[in-house]
């Protein structure tokens, strides 16, 4: 088993570590509090120097801000984080009246192969650790210059960036427990959402292990024929099985499931699709979140106008299905998952090739 990074440890695990080091138990809580703020051992000023130096020998496992783009339209901030192994991962801070929501990634890249997504174009490099995911929050808080408590930089978290959260199940559940810990970030599970493309067995497991988190299901099509084309995972877990699992989550937890539905012009945005979608989800305690697609040039798919999206929402509402259109955010800063990372990787590769050619001359 690989060594666990320091930022991924539960308080009880730190206590066990410090007991093995013959350190007093209260030191573990001090370190846990520092780690929740993204502090490195050298910054933990209330610890003895010898303990700080010993902690420095461990794998830390956090993230630092590498690049940022801010939308001139709505203030959305697209972040690119650098991990300790130099991999780059995205996150997006979205500003709303009720608070700020940070959308974070759970994997470096993605293996799901959805037809409308940039995250999957280079495949999946590796899973993120819980500590790295926590590091995204800490990096944003530091960048925003705001601390914990009232007015903090991040009030809500959505696991909806690059990667499939339930494909990185153990690290994601560990992250959820750490980020909601009262001695850590203390973000309520009810302010956290997780989006899955439809790993049905893991949804049932998730019901038992994280019942207070909002479950969002990336549906994007009302039937198997269309969803097979858009989302390869549907060939393993078809729409009926996915909806059954979503309904089980709603019944078990008493919480409303959110169905994410990206509207793609000329493909899944017609009245016939709205009628079929309403027939499939009616009876499930749910809400449909309609998303005009953020176009990805490599994919050749286009979104729809706001008017078209509102019409689709009205069709659903008339048939008794709760639906709203998500506000379009970050379209001027490569807001779709994976776009900024993909562009920066291309720039890094091009620069390396140029330097290589120069060295060979």
pLDDT in tens, 41-86: 999 999 999 999 999 999 999 899 999 999 888 889 999 999 999 9
90 among known catalytic residues: yes
pLDDT at residue 348 greater than cutoff 90: no
**Residue 296: predicted pLDDT:** 64
Q: Which residue has the higher pLDDT, 339 or 167?
A: 167
C-alpha–C-alpha distance, residues 36 and 135, integer Å: 8
Short-list 170, 166, 160, 111, CA closest to 136 = 160
Tell me what the mean pLDDT of segment 318-339 comes to.
72
Q: How many residues does the chain have?
A: 361
Structure tokens at 261: 């539905």
Structure tokens at 174: 């560990």
Q: Give the active site residue among 15, 90, 141, 260.
A: 90
Q: Considering the chain, what percentage of its residues have pLDDT values greater than 90? A: 76
Residue ranges covered by each domain of the chain:
6-56
**Residue 315: predicted pLDDT:** 98
Q: Which helix (H) or strand (E) holds 178?
A: helix 169-179
Out of 3.40.190.10, 1.10.150.530, 1.10.1370.30, 1.10.3720.10, select the CATH number for domain 6-56.
1.10.150.530
Whether the CB-CB separation of 92 and 79 falls below 8 Å is answered with: yes
Short-list 230, 235, 168, CA closest to 195 = 168
Q: Which residue has the higher pLDDT, 177 or 354?
A: 177
Structure tokens at 312: 């689709």
* 3-class SS letters over 230-278: HCHHHHCCCHHHHHHHHHHHHHHHCCCEEEEEEECCCCCCCHHHHHHHH
337 among known catalytic residues: yes
Using 50, 70 and 90 to split pLDDT, how confident is the model at 329? low
Tell me what the mean pLDDT of segment 18-28 comes to.
97
Short-list 194, 166, 259, CA closest to 221 = 259
For residue 136, count other CB atoms closer than 10 A to its CB: 28
Structure tokens at 36: 């929740």
Using 50, 70 and 90 to split pLDDT, how confident is the model at 2? low
pLDDT tens-digit map of 115-159:
888 777 778 999 999 999 999 999 999 999 864 444 678 999 999
Q: Give the active site residue among 103, 114, 286, 337.
A: 337
Q: Which residue has the higher pLDDT, 101 or 121?
A: 101
For residue 95, count other CB atoms closer than 10 A to its CB: 13
Q: Which residue has the higher pLDDT, 148 or 3?
A: 3
**Residue 96: predicted pLDDT:** 86
Residue-averaged pLDDT of the chain: 89
């Amino acid at each position: 088993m690989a060594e666990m990074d320091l930022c991924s440890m539960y308080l009880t695990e730190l206590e066990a570590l410090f007991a093995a080091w013959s350190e007093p138990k209260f030191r573990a809580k001090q370190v846990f509090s520092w780690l929740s703020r993204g502090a490195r051992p050298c910054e933990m000023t209330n610890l003895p120097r010898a303990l700080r130096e010993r902690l420095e020998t461990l794998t830390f496992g956090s993230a630092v801000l590498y690049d940022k783009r801010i939308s001139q339209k709505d203030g959305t901030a697209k972040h690119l984080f650098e991990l300790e192994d130099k991999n780059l991962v995205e996150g997006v801070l979205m500003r709303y009246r009720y608070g700020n929501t940070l959308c974070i990634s759970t994997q470096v890249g993605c293996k799901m192969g959805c037809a409308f997504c940039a995250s999957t174009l280079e495949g999946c490099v590796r899973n993120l650790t819980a500590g790295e995911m926590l590091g995204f929050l800490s990096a944003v808080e530091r960048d925003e210059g705001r601390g914990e408590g009232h007015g903090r930089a991040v009030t809500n978290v959505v696991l909806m960036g690059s990667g499939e959260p339930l494909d990185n199940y153990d690290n994601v559940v560990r992250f959820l427990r750490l980020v909601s810990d009262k001695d850590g970030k203390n973000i309520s599970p009810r302010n956290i959402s997780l989006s899955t493309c439809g790993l049905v067995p893991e949804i049932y497991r998730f019901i038992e292990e994280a019942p207070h988190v909002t479950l969002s299901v990336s549906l994007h099509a009302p039937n198997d024929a269309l969803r097979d084309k858009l989302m390869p995972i549907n060939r393993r877990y078809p729409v009926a099985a996915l909806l059954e699992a979503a309904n089980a989550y709603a019944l078990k937890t008493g919480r409303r499931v959110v169905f994410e539905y990206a509207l793609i012009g000329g493909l899944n945005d017609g009245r016939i699709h709205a009628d079929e979608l309403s027939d499939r989800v009616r009876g499930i305690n749910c809400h449909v979140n309609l998303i005009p697609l953020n176009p990805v040039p490599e994919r050749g798919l286009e979104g729809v106008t706001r008017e078209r999206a509102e019409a689709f929402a009205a069709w659903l509402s008339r048939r008794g299905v709760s639906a709203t259109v998500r506000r379009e955010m970050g379209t001027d800063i490569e807001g779709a998952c994976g776009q900024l990372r993909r562009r920066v990787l291309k720039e890094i590769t091009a620069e390396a090739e140029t330097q290589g050619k120069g060295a060979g001359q």
